[in-house]
Structures are given as C-alpha cells and as structure tokens.
Homo-oligomer: A and B are copies of this chain.
Amino acid sequence: MAAVTHFTIEKEDCKGAQAVKKLPLRQFAPLLIAMVGLPGRGKSLLARRLSRYLNYTGDNTKVLDISDYRRKHMEKYASHEMFRADNLPAWRLRQQSFREALEDAADWLQKPGHHVAILDGPNVSRSQRQEIYDLVYGQLGFRIMFIECVCEDPTILERNFKDILQYSADYCGMATEQALTDLTYKMAHYKAQYESPSLGSHWELPCPMVKLLDGGYGGIVAHGVTGTKESKILAYISVPKPSQQVIYFSRHGESEFNLIGRIGGDAPLSPRGRVYSQALAKHVHALNLPALQVWTSTLQRTKATAANIQAPQLHLHELDEIYSGDCESLTYEELQERFPRELALRDHEKLKYRYPQGESYVDVMQRLVPVLTQLECETNVLTVSHQAVLRCILGYFLETPFDEIPYFHVPLHTIIKVTLKGYNYTMETVKMPIECVDTNRAKPTNCSVNRSSEDALLTVPAHLDSLSNLNTLTPCT
C-alpha cells in the first residue's frame, strides 16, 4: 500500500541498558484508538471516516468492529435480550467478542507498516477500557487514545437510529417497527451499563481522551493529547461532518487539447465542450439543490464549463490538473518520441511516477487533502475538475486501492453523484448525450523501457492530428 506521506519508524532500542535507567521511546509507536459510547452516537461512521482519511494520508489504518466478532458467534441476531447486563451467557459472548477484536487489533498493529487500529464498539465499562490500556500501552508499549461519542441532540439521534435500522447487519430482514422497539431496548440496556469516562483530572487513564459532543456540532473536549498522529486525529474529528451528504463531480467539457490528444496545458473548450457546459447547467438547475456551490480549478476549461451555472463559485489551484512539467502539452506520440523512457517508467508505476519538473499522482493526492477534508463537511457542492484530479478525489471517497486510482474511469461529459449511504459512499453517473473523445489510456501490457513504440502507443485513444480537421468529427447532438 503506497503512502502519501512517508512516516515510518524503524525500531526502538536502548543502548547501555546496564548503565542508565531507560524509558522505552514510543513517540512514534503504532496507535490504538478505542471508541466509547452508546449505540447510535455516531461511533461507527466516525471510525470509518477517520480510517478513510488516515489511510489516504499515509497512516495505514484498520477498523475492527466488535459487533462483527459478536455476529461470528451467533447464527442470527435474535433480540435486545443479549445486551442485558444480567444475561450472563450473552455477556460472556460479548466479552469474548471484545477480546477477540482487541487481540486482532493488537496483532495487526505489531506488523510492520501498520500504523493505526480503531477498535469500534461501545466499550462502556471501566474494566474494558482498563483491559485495552493494559494490553496495548502496558504490554505492547504502543500508543492509545480514547474517543467518546456523546450525543443528546434529538434530531441527530433520530437520524442515527434510522441509519442503524437501515444499514445494521443485526436488523437486516427485521420489520421496521420490531427493529425500532428492539433498538430502544438495546439502548436502555447499554445505558444501564454505561460508565462514562469523565475528563480533566478525573479521566480514569493516563492517555489521551477526546469527547465529541453531538457529532462535533456541540464541540469537543480533549485531554492529554500528545503525539503527531493523535493531534492529526483530533484535528480531523473536531470538524463536524454531515451524516446526510451528496456531492457532485464533473470533468470540464471536451477541450481543444482533448480533441488533438494533448495532455495538460490550458486550452479552451471545443464546440462540443461548450454544448456540454450548457447541458450541465441545465441538468444542475433542474436538480434544484439547496445552497448549491460550484468549485472549479483555475484553468479556463473548468471555469468555462461551470460558467452557466447560477451558484457561488470558488476557483482553487488545488483542483488544477496534474502538472506534467516538461511533458506539458505533448501528445502521447510526442511523449514516446521525446521521452520514451519516461513514458515507460510512468506506465510501470503510474501512481508514484513524477513527470520531470512535474507532479505524480501521489503529489496530487497530497495537495488535495485540504480540499477533501473541506468537501467532507459540505453537501450539494459540484466540483468541476480534471481527469487525474477527479481520480484522486473519487478514490478518496470510494476508498479505491491506491494502485487503481490512476486507472479510475472518469469519462468526459458525465455527471458523477457521490452519496453517503450508511458508513460508505456510493457513486452514480449520468452520461450526457453529447459526443466527445475518449481520453482514457489503459495500462499497456508491455511497460518495459525497451519496448517498441508500437507497444507503447497501443492503448492511446484515437484523436485528431490538428484542429483544422474539426470537420471530421461526429456532429454535436
């Protein structure tokens, strides 16, 4: 798994053990995050979001959901009775699930290149939290951080409950009314067992503790935060993010450079690209989105594409296309002629390959982080950007494996709708009926630096030789 930032620790060791008192240095050790909170307080959504963000920004992260372990031990979820404090066999099963998840988290953190494990579950009792602390901090010498989700806002609670009824594996197939009653009882059982960790001098353990109120909308209280990972996590979770979210994306309309197969540059739209710009505005206006915003790059093809949309607009350098440095404005044929070795190296490892004096996909992913974290807080934003940039953005929301991001299919003249459903984002596309070229060049089979020009150019999409051939194009629809 490639990492956007390269934050790694080789090992810890101690010199002169016999002579001086040594403390193990654990400033950069792996980190376990333990969630704390009643059901329906937004723990799982937060855990998945945090995991998505940490993975994208170079901290290899895994979520371990205690309820998944519990379900492994049950044929099928029966009822809330299993969460009663006085149901001893069920309590044992829940304890066992907790321990299995915790041990798997600890195992996972011990493997090289693994940075953060998130133990997602209620962890409502002091003794459970003490057990987590003793194993992860005491025995393994790792770092630990607790995040408690407290929520009293009835609107947020109601929405969270609806999400649980809709998306939880426990309630899959159960009638809505029955499920709602069951969830209400389950909540009551957990409330009875809940020993809320308090903060300040009374927080029960000597490690960082963050209390998030009403999903962040009610503020945040943190104590004992140390460490770069922990403060990065605090920053991420302190900004509230909506639990209902729809965001839209589009590439710019077909540009003159698209027509003639040139990469980069700052070309104007083609006649068909201008038609797309009209169609996009019409489509978006018909959606009647409240508080619609448009974000574009600073290049003229995205600005022109969004120009007809009646909404406030932001133009951000971060959304500019991947900068291909010395290779800007070339066709693939010219690239192969002038930089055959570069083209082969790029095909070999497109994610990390950096154009001479230009950028790599990893560079683009990195410069997008502030925009992505802001976008996560918004709804009804239409982002008009470019092929490589949208690959990186969609790769973030859809958690695409890094190596597949540079090959994500993002065609021209297509509106992409990304919706948060449960803990994950889903994607839908609407292809506008306006002809355009295909700019997607698939990975060639032969990526060797000694390959023939024919092999190198095998997957280059068809394009015009020059703009004077415009009349050979399929007419606009």
Contact = CB atoms under 8 A, between A and B. Distances in A.
Interface of A: 5-16, 19-20, 22-25, 27-28, 199-200, 216, 218-228, 230-232, 234-236, 238-240, 291, 293-294, 298, 306-307, 309-318, 356, 367, 370, 373-374, 377-378
Nearest to A378: B27
B226 A219 contact: no
Copies in the complex: 2
Given A15-B313, A27-B378, A226-B239, 16 more contacts: A5-B367, A6-B317, A9-B317, A10-B298, A13-B312, A14-B312, A15-B306, A15-B309, A25-B313, A27-B314, A218-B223, A219-B221, A222-B222, A225-B239, A228-B373, A232-B235
Contacts of A223: 218-220
Nearest to A199: B219
A25 to B, nearest CB: 5
A161 B459 CA distance: 71
B23 A312 contact: yes
A148 to B, nearest CB: 13
* Closest CB pairs A-B (n = 4): A16-B310, A235-B235, A219-B223, A231-B235
5 contacts: A5-B370, A8-B317, A15-B307, A231-B373, A234-B235
B234 A312 contact: no
Nearest to A221: B221
Given A15-B311, A24-B312, A311-B20, A7 B318 contact: yes
Contacts of A309: 15-16
Contacts of A298: 10
Contact of A28 (B5, B228, B374): B374
Given A222-B219, A223-B219, A10 B312 contact: no
Contacts of A238: 222, 225, 231, 234
A224 B228 CA distance: 22
Contacts of A377: 226
Contact of A222 (B12, B220, B370): B220
Given A219-B224, A225-B220, A311-B16, A374 B200 contact: no
A312 B15 contact: yes
Given A9-B314, A16-B310, A312-B24, A227 B239 contact: yes
B218 A220 contact: no
Nearest to A293: B25
Nearest to A294: B15
A240 B20 CA distance: 27
A313 B24 CA distance: 9
A221 B211 CA distance: 9
A235 B232 CA distance: 6
A160 to B, nearest CB: 21
A231 B239 contact: yes
Nearest to A21: B291
B228 A370 contact: yes
Contacts of A315: 9-11, 13
Given A231-B373, A316-B28, A377-B226, A310 B20 contact: yes
A22 to B, nearest CB: 5
A381 B299 CA distance: 47
Contacts of A228: 370, 373-374
Contacts of A240: 226
